[in-house]
Structure formats: C-alpha cells, structure tokens
Amino acid sequence: MENMNMQEKIDRDIEYIEEQWRAYSHDGEKMASLFHSLFHQYKKIIDGFSKGFLVAQPYENIADMAHIYRKNVETLLERLIGFRENGYSNEGLMEYYFRLERKDVDYDADFTKVRMVIGLMEGLSEMAREEVIDKLGEMEEICARAVFKREKWEALREYLVWLSGKDVDIAMALLPLFLKIS
C-alpha cells in the first residue's frame, strides 16, 4: 500500500468503524463481521496489532460473544487511532501504546474509587465482581489497622498473590492500593 493510500484507508476505516459502532454496537454479528474484516487487513501492517484481543469460543452464549466482539472492535479502533496519532508509522508504536497504558493507572486511587471502577468494569461476571469487592474490604481493614507498615505488608502479601491471578485491568486498578500501607 502506498503511504498516502494507507493513510486515507485508515482514516476511512476509522470513520467507518465509528459509524458502525453508533448504528450497530449491540449487534454481535455485525461487530464480529466488522472485527474479522478489519483485523485481517491490518494485522500484518501494524506492529503489535493482533495482540491482546479477546477470543470468542463457539460454546459461549450469544450475549457473551457479542460483548467480546464489541470489546475487540473498541480495541481495534483504539489501535488504528493510535497508529494514526503515531504518524501512520510503526516506529515507536509500542512505546506509544505503553505511554497510553501508563496513563490509565490511577496512583491516587483510594478504596472507594477502586470499588466504583470494579463496579463499572465491563466483562466481569457478578461472581468475580463480588470476589474482588470482598477482597477490597479485607484489604481496607488491613490498611486501616494501627500497626507498623511491615505488619500490614505481611498481611497484604496473600492479596498480592491472589491479584497476580486476575485480569490485568483488575490488577492495575488494585495495585496502587498496596501503596496505602503506610
């Protein structure tokens, strides 16, 4: 693809995705079709483009599959916009993505704010949400104790191990809370 043609195509595709999103964001079949057609066009052109998408399993129910494809279309759109904002270049693109992700971490988060983030987090089952909220309550009790930070850290270590098995978005929301031990 010539440079100008590629830029025009990406701009048109971004516009098209946004139009489709406004009209059909809750139509799982439309989102699946949109995702697959654009994913295959760009996976060999844009560095790191194919990483981190959710995988829809054929045994999942229709609502879950629709949610997966909606998230994938959102990610696809973010990556195309990121590529455009990076000057339609792969050079430095991964660093650009890393900078964007770093901005997502709220180092000033408190327990109340993190509960709200978890409560609004998409794609989290009610059981998983309740588990995280319960653990947050336990962690908050530990942090509120009038003991030395070394004791708080010892009590919180098991929660850090628990957190290591969770999704990255959950981990990034909760990790700043471990700085609240002092």
3-state secondary structure (DSSP) of residue 134: helix
- Model confidence, pTM: 0.58
Alpha-carbon distance of 85 to 101, in angstroms, equals 15
Question: Any idea which of 2-6, 26-30, 123-127, 128-132 has the lowest mean pLDDT?
Answer: 2-6
- Mind listing the pLDDT tens digit for each residue in 100-141? 666 567 778 899 999 988 988 877 788 889 999 999 999 999
What residue spans of 87-174 are helical by DSSP H?
93-103, 111-120, 126-144, 149-164, 168-174
What are 7's two structure tokens? 């830029």
- Using DSSP's 3-state secondary structure scheme, residue 46 falls into coil
Instruction: Give the separation between CA 84 and CA 124, rounded to whole angstroms.
Output: 31
pLDDT, tens digit, 9 for 90 and up, residues 153-176:
999 999 999 999 998 889 989 999
